[in-house]
Amino acid sequence: MKVLNVVGARPNFVKIAPLLREMAKRPQIDPVLVHTGQHYDAQMSDGFFDALAIPAPDVNLGVGSGSHAQQTAEVMKRLEPVLEVVRPDVVLVVGDVNSTVAAALVATKLGIRVGHVEAGLRSFDRSMPEEINRLVTDALADDLFATEESGVMNLAREGVPAERVHFVGNVMIDALRLAKPLWQGATVFRDLGLDPQGRYGVVTLHRPSNVDDPRRLREMVSALQELARDFPLVFPVHPRVRTRLARESVAWRTPKQPLPARGLVCMDPLGYLDFVALVSRASIVLTDSGGIQEETTMLGVPCLTLRENTERPVTVTHGTNRVIGTAPRRIVDEGLRALANPPLPQAPPPLWDGHASARIVDVLLGVAIEAAA
């Protein structure tokens, strides 16, 4: 069975790693890896392949940056001839980035079966590009692999036949568990001159609604600076956000420079292992990332989501996540509250047990056997 796996952006790399590892155990599967090049910066791409032991891509489409329409169109144009040559039995897409929806569209039009890992997640906010990508991909997919029960319910409400929906758990958590010995031994604390037992926080921001509006970004930065008056708040900056922050009055750490004892400190992106290690010991995490909401849930770290909604409600009902919006005063107040009274970690969400990848591959092979019969 030939499975063509499509990745394009940093979150995809984390999700595909345990899937490829599981496929390697199954002699019935011939995996092919296509990197669209949506994230092409070495800090956002190459380092993840190395840290997660992902094999070199069989094909790199080299799409690069551009508007949503340009990026999606380029992936479609460059992927179509690859699919026509490889003729896979299944195209497996992960997450909700432009590469995900583009690959699903091309494969479907060529009559190739599509599997979507992380299906059914909904923020119910169509101003988010990711929400559009999720809706379209799920409408096209033949096999929909849900990470949490809300995804199964959302797909049922949208009329997806139950036999196409598979509640399998979360491959992001598979990756977190598999890499635990590595991130526990990461040198990030020594590199930053940071006491892992001390109080510090971590920030990530990348969503257009937060970083593309100069006024909102300025207000959020000001609130984060106020929150960090007594401890360091580490902000590894996404490349697309760096130019926007250039207009703001922020401290920037240069390589090999120790962190100051307090304040919001911006720095270059971290690799997966260093970043997870940093998050695992943090007193608080403030983010607009869905994947980080999931990771903090498993790590038992207080997380404040700087958005008005989340497509991952299980991180609120079963985890340490709270959705607080972007009002500056609330960021400060909720941050101080979480530091003073951190939420108690709970049992992991259902099926977040490190075996989601195995369940997905079992389903794919079951489909193959069915087709052969």
Give yes or no: residues 165 and 188 share one domain.
no
pLDDT score of 16: 97
Is residue 65 situated within a structural domain?
yes
Q: Mind listing the pLDDT tens digit for each residue in 287-339?
A: 999 999 999 999 999 999 999 999 999 999 999 999 999 999 999 999 999 99
Say yes or no: 18 and 141 in one domain: yes
Distance of CA 292 to the CA centre of its chain: 7
Residue 99 sits in the same domain as residue 188: no
Average pLDDT (39-54) is: 73
Pair 12, 75: CB distance under 8 Å: no
Residues 330 and 356 in one domain: no
Note whether residue 324 is domain-resident: yes
What pLDDT, in 10s, does the model give residues 202-260?
Answer: 999 999 999 999 999 999 999 999 999 999 999 999 888 988 898 888 989 888 888 99
90 phi-psi bin (left φ>0, alpha ψ -120 to 50, beta other): beta
Is 206 among the residues known to form the active site?
A: yes
Q: 42, 269 in Cβ contact below 8 A?
A: no
Long-range (24+ apart) CB contacts under 8 A made by 161-164 are none
The CATH number of the domain where 336 resides is what? 3.40.50.2000
Domain match, 365 and 324 both: no
Longest CA–CA span in the chain (Å) reads: 66
Q: Examine residue 330 and state whether it is found in any structural domain, yes or no.
A: yes
Decide if pLDDT at 39 tops 80.
Answer: no
Residue 365, in any domain of the structure: yes
Cα gap 107→112, rounded to integer Å: 5
CA dist., res. 288 & res. 186, Å (int): 24
Q: Do residues 30 and 107 both lie within one domain?
A: yes
Domain that holds residue 48: 2-169+352-372
Q: Are residues 155 and 27 part of one domain?
A: yes
Same domain, 148 and 264: no
What per-residue confidence (pLDDT) applies to 371?
A: 77
Give phi and psi for 235, each to the nearest 5. Answer: -125, 90
Q: What are phi and psi of 114, to 5 degrees?
A: -120, 130
pLDDT tens column, 162-191? 999 999 999 999 999 999 999 999 999 999
Query: Hey, what are 125's tokens?
Result: 């906010």
174 domain-assigned: no
Same domain, 317 and 192: yes
How far is 80 from 91, CA to CA, in rounded Å? 12
pLDDT score for 373: 67
83 and 231: one domain? no
Residue 106 DSSP symbol:
H
- At 372, the pLDDT band (50, 70, 90 cuts) reads confident
Check whether residue 244 and residue 112 sit in a common domain.
no
pLDDT band at 7 (very low <50, low <70, confident <90, very high): very high
Residue 176 inside a domain? The answer is: no
The Cα–Cα gap between 349 and 333 comes to 28
Name, in order, each residue with C-beta under 8 angstroms of 11's C-beta and a sequence gap of 6 or more: 94, 95, 97, 172, 289, 290, 291
Coil, helix or strand at residue 363:
helix
Does residue 347 lie within any of the structural domains?
A: no
The one-letter code for the residue type at 322 is R
Rounded to whole angstroms, how far apart are CA atoms 18 and 179? 10
Task: Please tell me the distance from the alpha carbon of residue 125 to that of residue 22, in angstroms, as a whole number.
Answer: 34
Total count of domains within the chain: 2
Within-domain flag for 216:
yes
Same domain, 301 and 155: no
Q: Which of 143, 193, 133, 191 is nearest to 163 (CA)?
A: 143
Computed over every residue of the chain, the mean pLDDT equals: 94
Q: Pick the catalytic residue: 35, 39, 68, 206?
A: 206
